[in-house]
Homo-oligomer: A and B are copies of this chain.
Amino acid sequence: MTRGMSSCEQCIARQLNSMNTLTKDELKQVSACKITRSYKKGDIIFNENEMLNGVYCVREGICKLTKMSENGKDQTIKLLGEGELIGQRSIISEERTNLSAIALNDVKVCFVPKEQILSNIKSNQEFSFKVLQSLAQDLREAEDDLINMAQKTVRQRLAEALIYVSKSFGVNEDGYLSVNLSREEYASIVGTATESAIRILSQFKKEGLISTQGKTIKIENLNDLGRVE
């Protein structure tokens, strides 16, 4: 480790969108507990209905939050990249998780024990307010997603999912999305059948909106993709 901030500190600080929220002493404490865990593609970080004893901060890789429904399909709620926190809602509510967290590729997280986070929330007003703001932001996003789910077609939602992945996780040097999700995973984000996702991606290809190479996808026309009907 280099001097200055540890990765844990960076995670927390970045997530909360402020480098000056915790005092130096508090940061030192957070960095003191640098328990790092590694997961491979497909590994479960935690399952639905578990009690967590801390929050996870993604240092490397991408995770998804999903929930299995009665009919056996699972719904992806959110993708999380570097610097994002997982599990804070459950810790704050003191409830079991309602989602599972799964690694989408090789993932490293740092684990911050519950007591640590809660004590910072309770003793540091500014930090606490940042957490409040980040929950408020998540809530707004969830409400927007709900409206999209209710009112847009599968085609529109899939187009938006591609744009979301592109904006959140970027593209590589050839312009292909740097996160490779299977058609099944796209279907889970959009809330549709895998075959429907495949079919619509084929349409997008025919219409010149995207191109593919195996499972990797490249957005060819972002503007039109954002306007599909």
Chain A residues within CB distance 8 Å of chain B: 67, 69, 71, 73, 75, 77, 89, 92-93, 95, 98-99, 121-123, 125, 128-129, 131-133, 135-140, 142-147, 149-151, 191
**A101 → chain B closest CB, angstroms:** 13
Copies of this subunit: 2
Across the interface, A71 reaches (CB within 8 A) one of B89, B93, B121, B151, namely B151
**A96 → chain B closest CB, angstroms:** 11
Q: Are B129 and A93 in contact (CB under 8 A)?
A: no
| 30 A-B residue pairs with CB within 8 Å | A67-B147, A69-B151, A71-B151, A75-B147, A75-B150, A75-B151, A77-B143, A89-B140, A92-B132, A92-B133, A93-B133, A93-B136, A95-B140, A98-B144, A99-B143, A121-B132, A122-B125, A122-B129, A123-B125, A128-B128, A128-B129, A131-B132, A132-B132, A135-B139, A139-B142, A142-B142, A142-B146, A145-B146, A149-B149, A151-B191
